[in-house]
């Protein structure tokens, strides 16, 4: 009897010096297990990153490796690290993690959007459940005839059906984000269908659990099921009003009262207790509470932030291990077992992919999208494992069936990403469009100017809007059209999905006239649009930082943008210096400067026009263009001229000339017969045209300053430090900028921009550093230009 019932473990040991082996005690052992799991799963996740696999895969594989399939073949290891008597503690911790994780998964599900999802999505979801379910029942007959003999028939049928028909909603969301499909139609349909599928799977699972059990009378499952329904209805009546009241008490931007958080977490546990008492697994209650919590307002977001890292970081991986300990791949032996594995994988994939594909075609979805939808719906994940584990615990599935089903779940999820990539490539980079205006400098300045402005947080918005207000010129026929793109970073966390929901609610073109969007970002741009007759389209880009620049460049290409305006990657501190909060954005800016197919401006914001948004009537900006020469300076000047048409803008153009006595030091190199004179003449022509056009305009001042060296230039710049905005080129020509570039600290701002943002130059003026787009025609002359302006000292 003794070996079956090990004595319970004490919690903590007296320490190694008193002769205790720490691994015989519950706490040190649990800590060791958690650390081991974390190291293994994170390591695997890192290795699988190049294959673009979701983290769940790494966690499942990690669990299997730690279990009897791989490392566990060494019995000494198994008995030391995962002894049978520690399994209770391990499972308890894992189930607490699971409970809260499913609470978060419930929070991710937005019931409102399910109601609006429409017939098409509903049809896809229903087929995605019924066909695999039917196939699962078919498979279950074969399995029961061969390897899973002598179990409760109905329970086994339902378990197999549920196991084959699940689509993992959280996993799917991660995959979509990874493939940049979240905001496409395919992504939306897949998310909504998966959400419906999830809810249906939970109902079926509750049914399956009610049916399984060592019950003797047929009334028991009925009671369990009725009580389950009663619980859901009760929760539906009680939970939302209470939490609506709570979320009304929580305001955006203020800390949420700790009492509310605590109460919510207690409610989750209590619901878990109730459902466990009824006899449908504890996590069912937690999930229901998560679904019923109102998603509006800051409360849900704060809750997720509080819970998610600890839960999905520490406790949840334990669940994968406790599942992995039950999985022994070695039980799949012989031709028959492997044949059954292939059969199960085939039926699972066939049901999902073919079912979804056919229904999508009936709804006139294009072939490649339909196929992609099928593959996406085929991803399994955590919920699948839960179903299998419950089946295993209830003795509905034996070891071999369990192992086969786990392998099936792994395989189907593993193939999702590569297959979707193969079938459905959203336009990665559009071929270079043939639109003309890729810069602000153009032959006819009265054409429409299209600007894409990006911002990371709401603190950049007032200044960006003031900049746009200044850029709109007059109402003289030429219009300004703006795309405002909110750059959001996507991470592995559950809260990332909530963020996607929020972005999704605002839709891509944000205005849904019906609902007031709570998003203050959108409100600001809406107000600006109404005040200034500028057409603004807010959009949201959700992607990881490594490929955010692709989103920006592709959008610019699609929308025929002439100028992308990016925020500087450092934020202004109160004392006027800049601090870098996220150095990664520095790389995003650099990549956009390299890859953009139009002009790019980097906006160093020092509170342009105060922090408030200024209405058109009382704008008064003084803008200074520093003109040294070269393409980028011409672009800056063209933009300045454009701004000067605004009645409230005064423009000062300062042209720096190098004094002639220093010109002996400069030896112009002639390349391919092009003298520096012709390159200078392009500047001369441009300036001559500019000066004739401004002769009757009192709001534009043009000054020429002759300088001998850098320090004189800086002295002149000091006189203008009172203006509101400097417009400078990123790669100006001439000797002075070249001398300045010796002390450059931020290459994407160029020599002059770096000077104006450096701490030693005190100014309250914002700076816009402009890089002009030029294609191959220009590139040749630009290379010559770079050679032509090299001083030889």
pLDDT digits (tens, 9 = 90+) for 702-723: 888 888 888 888 888 888 888 8
Q: Which residues of 436-464 are buried (b: 16+ CB within 10 A; e: fewer)?
A: ebbbbbeeeeeeebbbbbbbbeeebbbbb
pLDDT band at 789 (very low <50, low <70, confident <90, very high): very low
Instruction: Please give the Cα distance from 368 to 624 (Å, whole number).
Output: 52
pLDDT digits (tens, 9 = 90+) for 299-350: 888 888 888 888 888 888 899 999 999 999 988 888 988 999 999 999 999 9
Instruction: Please give the Cα distance from 91 to 594 (Å, whole number).
Output: 52
Q: Which residues of 56-65 are buried (b: 16+ CB within 10 A; e: fewer)?
A: bbbbbbbbbb
Q: Report, as an integer, the average pLDDT of 270-285.
A: 92
Please check the confidence at residue 620 and state whether its pLDDT lies above 70: yes
pLDDT band at 752 (very low <50, low <70, confident <90, very high): confident
Cα torsion at 262, 268, 271, 277 (round to 10°)? -100
Task: Name the nearest CA neighbour of 688 among 672, 704, 668.
Answer: 704
Instruction: Please give the Cα distance from 47 to 35 (Å, whole number).
Output: 18
> Angle at the Cα of 169 (from 318 to 59), degrees rounded to 5?
25
DSSP string spanning 746-773? Answer: -GGGHHHHHHHHSTTS----EEEEEE--
Look up residue 71 and give its DSSP letter: G
Answer for the pair 790, 738: CB distance below 8 angstroms, yes or no.
Answer: yes
Answer for the pair 275, 228: CB distance below 8 angstroms, yes or no.
Answer: yes
Instruction: Please give the Cα distance from 172 to 378 (Å, whole number).
Output: 9
**Beta strand 578-580 with 570-572: parallel, antiparallel or unpaired?**
antiparallel
Answer for the pair 415, 175: CB distance below 8 angstroms, yes or no.
Answer: no
Please check the confidence at residue 268 and state whether its pLDDT lies above 90: yes
Q: Report, as an integer, the average pLDDT of 578-596.
A: 84
pLDDT digits (tens, 9 = 90+) for 208-248: 888 776 666 778 888 888 899 999 999 999 999 999 998 88
**Beta strand 700-707 with 599-604: parallel, antiparallel or unpaired?**
unpaired
Please check the confidence at residue 761 and state whether its pLDDT lies above 50: yes
Please check the confidence at residue 434 and state whether its pLDDT lies above 70: no
pLDDT band at 615 (very low <50, low <70, confident <90, very high): low
Q: Which residues contact 44 (CB under 8 A, 6 or more apart)?
A: 58, 59, 61, 62, 65
Instruction: Please give the Cα distance from 606 to 721 (Å, whole number).
Output: 12
Q: Hey, which of 199-203, 443-447, 674-678 has the most confident mean pLDDT? A: 199-203
743 or 768: whose pLDDT is higher?
Answer: 768
pLDDT value for 259: 92
13 or 264: whose pLDDT is higher?
Answer: 264
Answer for the pair 715, 701: CB distance below 8 angstroms, yes or no.
Answer: no
Instruction: Please give the Cα distance from 624 to 747 (Å, whole number).
Output: 21
Q: Which residues contact 88 (CB under 8 A, 6 or more apart)?
A: none
Please give the helix or strand (H or E) that residue 268 lies within, else none: helix 258-278
pLDDT value for 715: 84
Instruction: Please give the Cα distance from 137 to 159 (Å, whole number).
Output: 9
Phi/psi of residue 728, each to 5°?
-135, 155
Please check the confidence at residue 449 and state whether its pLDDT lies above 60: yes
Helices in 606-670 by DSSP H: which ranges? Answer: 631-644
pLDDT value for 169: 83
Task: Name the nearest CA neighbour of 210 among 198, 222, 193, 197.
Answer: 222
Mean pLDDT score across all residues of the chain: 81
Instruction: Please give the Cα distance from 643 to 631 (Å, whole number).
Output: 19
pLDDT value for 52: 83
pLDDT value for 507: 40
pLDDT value for 214: 67
The pair of structure tokens assigned to 188 is 């939306």
pLDDT value for 172: 87
pLDDT digits (tens, 9 = 90+) for 82-107: 998 889 999 999 999 999 988 988 88
pLDDT value for 100: 92
pLDDT digits (tens, 9 = 90+) for 377-419: 999 888 889 899 988 988 888 889 999 999 999 999 999 988 9
Q: Report, as an integer, the average pLDDT of 564-568.
A: 90
């Amino acid at each position: 009897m003794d070996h079956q019932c090990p004595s319970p473990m004490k919690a903590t040991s007296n320490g190694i010096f008193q002769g205790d082996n720490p691994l015989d005690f519950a706490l040190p052992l649990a800590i060791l297990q958690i650390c081991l799991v974390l190291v293994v799963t994170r390591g695997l996740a890192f290795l699988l990153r190049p294959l673009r696999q979701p983290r769940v895969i790494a966690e499942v594989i990690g669990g299997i490796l730690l279990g009897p399939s791989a490392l566990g073949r060494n019995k000494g290891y198994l008995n030391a690290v995962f002894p049978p008597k520690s399994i209770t503690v391990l499972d308890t911790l894992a189930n607490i993690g699971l409970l809260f994780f499913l609470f978060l998964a419930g929070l991710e599900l937005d019931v409102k959007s399910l109601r609006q999802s429409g017939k098409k999505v509903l049809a896809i979801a229903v087929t995605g459940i019924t066909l695999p379910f039917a196939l699962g029942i078919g498979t279950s007959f074969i399995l029961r005839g061969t390897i899973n003999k002598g179990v409760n028939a109905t329970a086994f049928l339902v378990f197999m059906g549920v196991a084959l028909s699940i689509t993992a909603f959280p996993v799917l969301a991660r995959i979509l984000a990874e493939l940049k499909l979240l905001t496409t139609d395919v992504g939306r349909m897949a998310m909504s269908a998966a959400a419906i599928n999830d809810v249906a799977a939970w109902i079926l699972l509750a049914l399956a659990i009610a049916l399984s059990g060592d019950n003797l009378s047929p009334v028991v499952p009925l009671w369990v099921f009725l009580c389950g329904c009663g619980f859901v209805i009760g929760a539906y009546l009680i939970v939302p009003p209470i939490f609506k009241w709570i979320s009304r008490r929580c305001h955006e931007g203020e800390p949420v009262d700790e009492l509310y958080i605590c109460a919510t977490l207690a409610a989750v546990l209590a619901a878990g207790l109730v459902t466990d008492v009824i006899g449908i697994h504890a996590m069912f209650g937690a999930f229901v509470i998560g679904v019923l919590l109102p998603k509006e307002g800051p409360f849900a977001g704060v809750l997720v932030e509080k819970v998610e890292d600890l839960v999905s970081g520490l406790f949840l991986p334990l669940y994968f291990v406790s599942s992995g300990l039950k999985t022994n791949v070695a039980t799949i032996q012989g031709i028959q077992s492997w044949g059954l594995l292939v059969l199960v994988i085939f039926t699972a994939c066939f049901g999902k992919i073919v079912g979804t594909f056919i229904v999508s075609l009936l709804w006139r979805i294009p072939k490649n999208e339909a196929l992609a939808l099928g593959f996406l719906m085929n991803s399994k994940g955590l919920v699948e494992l839960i179903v299998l584990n419950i089946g295993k615990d209830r003795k509905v599935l034996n070891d071999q069936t369990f192992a086969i089903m786990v392998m099936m779940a792994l395989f189907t999820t593993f193939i999702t990403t590569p297959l979707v990539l193969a079938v459905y490539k959203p336009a990665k980079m559009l071929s270079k469009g043939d639109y003309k205006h890729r810069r602000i400098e153009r032959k006819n300045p009265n054409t429409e100017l299209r600007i894409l402005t990006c911002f990371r947080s709401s603190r950049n918005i007032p200044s960006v809007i003031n900049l746009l207000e200044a850029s709109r010129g007059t109402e003289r026929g030429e219009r300004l059209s703006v795309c405002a793109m909110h750059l959001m970073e996507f991470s592995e966390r559950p809260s990332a999905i909530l963020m996607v929901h929020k972005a999704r609610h605002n839709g891509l073109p944000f205005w849904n006239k019906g609902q007031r969007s709570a998003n203050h970002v959108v409100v600001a741009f809406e107000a600006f649009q109404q005040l200034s007759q500028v057409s603004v389209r807010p959009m949201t880009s959700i992607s990881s930082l490594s490929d955010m620049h692709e989103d920006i460049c592709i959008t610019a290409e699609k929308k025929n943008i002439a100028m992308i305006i990016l925020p500087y990657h450092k934020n202004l501190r109160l004392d006027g210096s800049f601090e870098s909060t996220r150095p990664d954005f520095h790389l995003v800016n650099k990549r956009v400067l390299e890859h953009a197919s139009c002009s790019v401006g980097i906006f160093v914001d020092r509170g342009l026009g105060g922090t408030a948004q200024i209405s058109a009537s009382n704008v008064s900006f003084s803008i200074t263009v520093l003109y040294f020469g070269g393409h980028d300076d011409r672009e800056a000047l063209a933009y300045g001229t454009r701004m000067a048409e605004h009645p409230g803008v005064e423009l000062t153009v300062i042209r720096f000339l190098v004094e002639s006595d220093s010109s002996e030091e400069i030896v112009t190199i002639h390349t391919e017969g092009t003298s520096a004179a012709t390159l200078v003449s392009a500047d001369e022509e441009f300036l001559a045209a500019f000066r004739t056009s401004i002769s009757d305009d009192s709001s534009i001042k043009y000054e020429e300053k002759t300088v001998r060296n850098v320090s004189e230039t800086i002295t002149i710049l000091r006189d203008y430090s009172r203006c509101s905005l400097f417009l400078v080129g990123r790669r100006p020509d001439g000797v002075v900028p070249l001398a300045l570039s010796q002390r450059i600290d931020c290459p994407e701002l160029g020599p002059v921009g770096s000077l104006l943002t450096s701490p030693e130059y005190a100014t309250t003026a914002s700076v816009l550093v402009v890089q002009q787009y030029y294609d191959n025609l220009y590139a040749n002359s630009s290379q010559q230009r770079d050679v032509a302006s090299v001083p030889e000292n």
